[in-house]
Chain A
Amino acid sequence: MKQLIQILLLASLVGCGTGHDWHGKDISGLMPDLAFTLTDEHGDEVTAADYSGNNILIYFGFTQCPDICPTALAKLAAAMRKLPEDVQQRTVILFVSVDPDRDTPAQLGEYTAAFHPRMIGLTGSQQQLQTLTRRYRITYGYDKPDSAGQYNVSHSSAIFAFDRAQQVRLLLRDDLGVEQLYADILQLDTL
């Protein structure tokens, strides 16, 4: 019975605001803080702690993504460029490739550099990637390769935002515009 009441209370809390006026969905408390072990663009192993002190925006995709990833990343980069220089310096966009077979660290470096200097490409083993995606209740999957060995990848379309203490804050859907992303990142920086 006690558990049922807890569940009902939780149900009523989901979706309630916390005084902030976000364009994204407030998911603070609904999901755990940031934690991962992945490989960066230089081939070095990195963990979430390596980015502490930054506002962190994470997006999952793959570099051969035809439209969804480039659109989302271009909007995010545009929103970043609008921010004051000091806010940009303490904000980082992590692009996590869930296609490690095709996306090498070097390729990721070239890909992210085209969007914004504060964007970093990460990837990892299937196990490392699954540990991270499961933590945020998201997933990814692959099509069967065609005759040329090419295949499509399904992945999360949302941007997950963490404050400078690496606590989960926002889920930014991909239908948000540059202005809305800009406003939310600016507000994230004040937390």
Chain B
Amino acid sequence: MADWLAFFIPWEFSLLVQISIWGSLWLYVRGLRSTDSKPGAGSILAFVLGLLLMYLVTQTHFDYWSQYMFFVHRGQHLVLHHLAPFLLALAAPVPILAAGLPGRVKDFWQQRRLARQWWRSLYAFLQHPAVACVLFVGLIYFWLTPEIHFDAMLNQRLYWLMNWSMALDGLLFWWLMLERGSGGITPRLGYGLRILLLAAIMPPQIILGARLAFSEQVWFDVYAVCGRAWPLEPLTDQQLGGLLTWIPAAMMSVIAALVVLRFLLHTPAQSAPIHANS
């Protein structure tokens, strides 16, 4: 088989990932067909690109490199936690996805009052600004704790739990930051507060990334224990991983802040959010 084709064979096939990604795409296409208020080409592109990126880093040979090379693993999390969820949130796809949802599913959900209440309060808790920031940064630190990282790389179920937690938390966080008053249950934070939060998550990521990049010691021996995808100095691997944790991750905050500024400039004064708890 041609090498480039072999790249697309999932290293570890996940039915859950396949269903989630192709299912979302199917819902989106259905929604686009049935709605009158079609989003711009940019939004559609952002949505498809976000899904595609998530698929590429989890269901291709890229996942193999992520498991056996620290810096590729950091790249995988950069996509799962920062880039792809950012694009998905930027596309604001909820109205389209909701329009694509089969009627029976909508009715079913409407009838589950308790489940909806439960989901609303859980969501409100997770999307409290302080909780959202602590979760966003905390998960990076948690999975990069050497002992935990070791087990996650050695055990397949923990590995998937790690990647799912990063992707879902990424979605929660960027959803909150890029919310545009689409009438959903996401709290509408003030634009100033959003920029403040985006700035607040930068230093902890910069510190962790820089510590990794400048460390003279190898933090994660699991890559030596399991073998690397190709021969690479452990410290070089760690330095590259540190740089990825540090620079592009922090840059995402800056890009998001610019997007929020754009919202601010293009929103009529009377519909702009006032403050966090409104």
Residues of A in contact with B (beta carbons under 8 Å apart): 7, 10-11, 14-15, 27, 30, 60, 133, 137-143, 152-158, 171, 173-174
A142 CA to B227 CA, complexed, in Å: 11
Are B228's CB and A14's CB within 8 A? no
User: Which residues of the other chain, A, contact B9 by a CB distance below 8 angstroms?
Assistant: none
CA distance A75 to B117 in the complex (A): 61
B147 proximity list for chain A (CB < 8 A)? 15
Within 8 A of A (CB), among B215-264: 221, 224-232
Instruction: Report yes or no: A154 in contact with B229, Cβ–Cβ below 8 A.
Output: yes
Q: How far is the CA of A7 from the CA of B152 in the complex (A)?
A: 12
Task: Report yes or no: A14 in contact with B221, Cβ–Cβ below 8 A.
Answer: no
Inter-chain contacts of B157 with A (CB < 8 A): 7, 10
B226's nearest neighbour on chain A, judged by CB, is A138
The distance in angstroms between the C-alpha atoms of A146 and B12, with both chains bound, is: 33
Contacts of B221 in A (CB 8 A): 157, 173
Question: Are A141 and B231 touching (Cβ within 8 A)?
Answer: yes
Chain B: how many interface residues by the 8 Å CB criterion?
22
Can you list 14 A-B pairs with a CB-CB distance of less than 8 A?
Answer: A7-B161, A10-B157, A11-B161, A14-B158, A139-B67, A139-B226, A139-B229, A141-B68, A141-B228, A143-B231, A154-B232, A156-B226, A158-B225, A158-B226
Distance, CA A156 to CA B226, complexed state (A)? 5
Chain A residues, Cβ within 8 Å of B68: 139, 141
- Chain A interface mostly: loop
The 3 closest A-B pairs by CB, nearest first: A141-B230, A156-B227, A154-B231
Interface residues of B in 5-31 (CB under 8 A from A): none
Residues of B within 8 A of A153 (CB): 231
Rounded to whole angstroms, the CA-CA distance of A14 and B161 in the bound complex is 14
Q: How many A-B residue pairs have CB under 8 A?
A: 69
Distance in Å from the Cβ of B61 to the closest Cβ of chain A?
12
CB distance from B155 to the nearest CB of A (A): 6
Interface residues of chain B, those whose CB is within 8 Å of chain A, are 64, 67-68, 147, 151, 153-158, 161, 221, 224-232
Inter-chain CA distance A30–B225, complex, in Å, is 15
Closest to B156 in A: A137
A142 near B231: Cβ-Cβ < 8 Å = yes
When the two chains form their complex, are residues B154 and A27 in contact, meaning their CB atoms are under 8 A apart? yes
A137's partner among B154, B161, B224 (CB-CB below 8 A) is B154
One of B67, B151, B156, B224 near A157 (C-beta < 8 A): B224
Using Cβ atoms and an 8 Å threshold, which residues of chain A touch B67?
137, 139
Given contacts A7-B161, A14-B155, contact A141 B226 (CB under 8 A): no
Task: Given the known inter-chain contacts A10-B157, A11-B161, A30-B155, please indicate yes or no for A133 contacting B227, CB distance below 8 A.
Answer: yes
* A27 partner residues in chain B, CB cutoff 8 A: 154
Centre residue among B67, B157, B158, B226 by max chain A CB count within 10 A:
B226
Residues of chain B with a CB closer than 8 A to A154's CB: 227-232
Q: How far is the CA of A15 from the CA of B224 in the complex (A)?
A: 19
Min distance, Cβ B166 to any Cβ of chain A, angstroms: 15
Q: Which residues of A contact B229 (CB under 8 A)?
A: 139, 141, 154
Chain B residues within an 8 Å CB radius of A10: 155, 157-158
Assembly CA distance A173 to B232 (angstroms): 19
B151 to A, closest residue via Cβ: A14
Within 8 Å CB of B230, what residues of A? 141-143, 154
Query: How many angstroms from the CA of A56 to the CA of B191 in the assembled complex?
Result: 62
**How far does the alpha carbon of A27 sit from the alpha carbon of B161 in the complex, in Å?**
19
Q: Which residue of B lies closest to A151 (CB)?
A: B231
Name A14's closest neighbour in chain B (CB-CB).
Answer: B151
Residue of B nearest to A30 (CB): B155
